[in-house]
Chain A
Amino acid sequence: MKKLVQIENVGMHFDTRNGRFVALRGIDLTVREGEFVSLIGHSGCGKSTLLNLIAGLTLPTAGVLICNGREVAGPGPERAVVFQNHSLLPWLTCFDNIYLAVERVFGAKEGKARLIARTHAALELVGLAQAEAKYPGEISGGMKQRVGIARALAMEPKILLLDEPFGALDALTRANLQDELMRITAATGATVVMVTHDVDEAVLLSDRVVMLTNGPAATIGEILRVDLPRPRDRLALAHDAGFQACRAALLEFLYQKQLRRAA
């Protein structure tokens, strides 16, 4: 498969009041088309920072990021982001939140009827057709997160960037949305980079799990390849030896090799 994102020797530091803070150093990673890659690591290690670099929301202080053959110089709709706290605009309905994105990406080439159809299709994809007229304040956290995913998918991005998309949800809702995300990525062949701190989620969803060392100056510690066949079923995998082995590898990295000092 084609290389979609190439991260080459990327480093990131922030100049703060207390001097320079090195968040990331020496990151090398390639994401191929259609691949699902998770970033895992302890809280504060720099997962969001790395994701924001891929999104182009921040620019690296060292190294280069290349997306689809071009250096990342800023954010753009071909790299859609689902933010940790959904980031829906509270004064727009679910429909209008998605329509805003659809109009921006396809408005120049397509008529209004087509844009509306695209918006409906995106809502349909996440099972929220009946909630299109509701405002974000009127729906549950899980639904908001779905609308955020629908907005991102509706843009038909080259790559989908998810920052702990299910972190704020209860376990049942999270499981539902994980299954839905697997179904959607299987159907659309989307390329995904997802930040998570949940070991099971990482193994269940990913083709590869990138483990970050603890900050400051975090870098890639290990990369785990998850070769479980798809479609994956969480109930069947619960007793699967391969699944357990992947899980154990991640846990060992996080809780033995990278145990947080006095955390």
Chain B
Amino acid sequence: MTATAMTIDEPAAPAAEKKPPAAPAPKLAVEKSVPATRRQRLGAGFTAALRRFLPPVLGLAAFVGVWALVSKSSPQLPGPSVVFHAAVTLFSDPFYRNGPNDQGIGWNILFSLERVGIGFGLAALIGIPAGFLIGRFKFLNDMTAPIISLLRPVSPLAWLPIGLLVFKAANPAAIWVIFISSIWPMIINTAVGVQRIPQDYLNVARVLNLPESKVFTKILFPAVLPYMMTGVRLSIGVAWLVIVAAEMLTGGVGLGFWVWDEWNNLKVENIIIAIFVVGVIGLLLEQILLLLARRFSYE
């Protein structure tokens, strides 16, 4: 007992010796620093906020500044204030209807979103199950690999004539373009997710002799979900990227058609507004899906 007591004492002694000179210093610092830390903490919070928000605000300001300068030297390009005022009038009545070719910005946004929704929805309906099958069965993977790598790099609009030919109408053709260009990320990411499932999880399924339906609901699907969500996010991004171009060519009500129409009317400020609207909605879609993905990720 004494031996153990000594071994405990020994290492404690040097620490105790070190303490006395160190102890008074913190005491002094504590007394003085009570008001100081509070001020410092406030200051620190302020600088942290500044660090966080200053760069983006500066970036936006610089962007608007350059834009204003450029618009001064080239009279065709409307400046920030002109565009801002045009936007105020535009968004003060977003849902008016003056015939098929003249509708409010709200309608244009909704119609574009609807096309993206349908095209992307169909792509998810087919692409995600296809991804599961391709990931699960090597034979299918080898079978589809050449087709996927051949078709995936094709520019989305190259599919438009095929759509027009098959569907003989503009609207389904635009949806078709969305479908075919947004299906690849979902197929590929889902398939990769299935192929990357840790062998341990599958071994658990094998030891338990789980039926294929249970393997799917309890192991495959939850394990692949994060990969699938990444695919969905990429797909939505592509779909939204493509819709404006597709609608420019097919017409009808929608943001793309609206851009084209305003170009014909030479209302450049509305084109710039459209660019912002497309950007903001794309950003929102991305953020919503990121939130969803975080909701579904385990660990």
Stretch at the interface among A28-36, A87-95, A211-219, A220-228: A87-95
Q: Report the tally of A-B residue pairs with Cβ distances under 8 A.
A: 51
Which parts of B186-245 form the interface with A (CB within 8 Å)?
200-201, 203-204, 206-210, 214, 218-219, 222-223
Stretch at the interface among A10-18, A78-86, A171-179: A78-86
Residue on A nearest B221 in the bound complex, by CB: A91
Cα distance A80–B206 in the bound complex, in angstroms? 10
Q: Contacts A57-B206, A75-B207, A104-B209 given; indicate if A87 touches B200 (C-beta within 8 A).
A: yes
Main secondary structure of the interface of A (DSSP, over half): loop
* B293 CB, min distance to chain A CBs, angstroms: 14
Residue B298 at the chain A interface, CB threshold 8 Å: yes
Contact partner, A101, options B200, B208, B219, B223, Cβ 8 Å: B208
Cα distance A90–B214 in the bound complex, in angstroms? 16
Q: Contacts A55-B207, A77-B209, A80-B207 given; indicate if A90 touches B218 (C-beta within 8 A).
A: no
Main secondary structure of the interface of B (DSSP, over half): helix
Cβ A87 vs Cβ B201 within 8 A: yes
Cα distance A101–B214 in the bound complex, in angstroms? 11
Cβ A75 vs Cβ B219 within 8 A: no
* A52 CB, min distance to chain B CBs, angstroms: 9
Residue B31 at the chain A interface, CB threshold 8 Å: no
A90 / chain B contacts, CB cutoff of 8 Å: 298-299
Residue A100 at the chain B interface, CB threshold 8 Å: yes
* B229 CB, min distance to chain A CBs, angstroms: 14
A55 / chain B contacts, CB cutoff of 8 Å: 207
Q: Contacts A89-B218, A90-B298, A137-B299 given; indicate if A57 touches B208 (C-beta within 8 A).
A: no
Cα distance A85–B299 in the bound complex, in angstroms? 15
Cβ B298 vs Cβ A100 within 8 A: no
B210 / chain A contacts, CB cutoff of 8 Å: 100, 104
Residue on B nearest A90 in the bound complex, by CB: B298
Cβ B208 vs Cβ A104 within 8 A: yes
Residue A76 at the chain B interface, CB threshold 8 Å: yes
B203 / chain A contacts, CB cutoff of 8 Å: 57, 75, 81, 83, 87
Cα distance A74–B209 in the bound complex, in angstroms? 9
Cβ A91 vs Cβ B206 within 8 A: no
Residue A135 at the chain B interface, CB threshold 8 Å: yes
Interface size bracket, B side: 10 to 19
Contact partner, A76, options B200, B204, B209, B299, Cβ 8 Å: B209
Cα distance A100–B219 in the bound complex, in angstroms? 11
* B80 CB, min distance to chain A CBs, angstroms: 49
Interface size bracket, A side: 20 to 34
Cβ B201 vs Cβ A100 within 8 A: no
Q: Contacts A87-B201, A91-B298 given; indicate if A100 touches B218 (C-beta within 8 A).
A: yes
* A78 CB, min distance to chain B CBs, angstroms: 10
Cβ A75 vs Cβ B299 within 8 A: no
* B151 CB, min distance to chain A CBs, angstroms: 32
Contact partner, B207, options A76, A89, A92, Cβ 8 Å: A76
* B197 CB, min distance to chain A CBs, angstroms: 11
Contact with B along A122-155 (1 / 0, CB 8 A): 0000000000000101000000000000000001
Cβ A87 vs Cβ B204 within 8 A: yes
Residue on A nearest B198 in the bound complex, by CB: A87
A101 / chain B contacts, CB cutoff of 8 Å: 208
Residue on B nearest A85 in the bound complex, by CB: B200
A135 / chain B contacts, CB cutoff of 8 Å: 298
B200 / chain A contacts, CB cutoff of 8 Å: 83, 85, 87
A91 / chain B contacts, CB cutoff of 8 Å: 222-223, 298
A100 / chain B contacts, CB cutoff of 8 Å: 208, 210, 214, 218
* A91 CB, min distance to chain B CBs, angstroms: 4
Q: Residues of B with Cβ closer than 8 Å to A?
A: 200-201, 203-204, 206-210, 214, 218-219, 222-223, 298-299
Nearest 4 Cβ contacts at the A-B interface? A91-B222, A87-B200, A91-B298, A75-B206
Q: Residues of A with Cβ closer than 8 Å to B?
A: 55, 57, 74-77, 79-81, 83, 85, 87, 89-92, 100-101, 104-105, 135, 137, 155
Pick 25 A–B contacts, CB within 8 A, sort by A: A55-B207, A57-B207, A74-B206, A75-B203, A76-B207, A77-B209, A87-B200, A87-B201, A87-B203, A87-B204, A89-B201, A89-B219, A90-B298, A90-B299, A91-B222, A91-B298, A92-B218, A100-B208, A100-B210, A101-B208, A104-B209, A104-B210, A105-B208, A137-B298, A155-B208
Known: A87-B203, A89-B222. 11 other contacts (CB 8 A): A76-B209, A77-B207, A79-B207, A83-B204, A87-B200, A90-B299, A92-B218, A100-B214, A100-B218, A104-B209, A155-B208
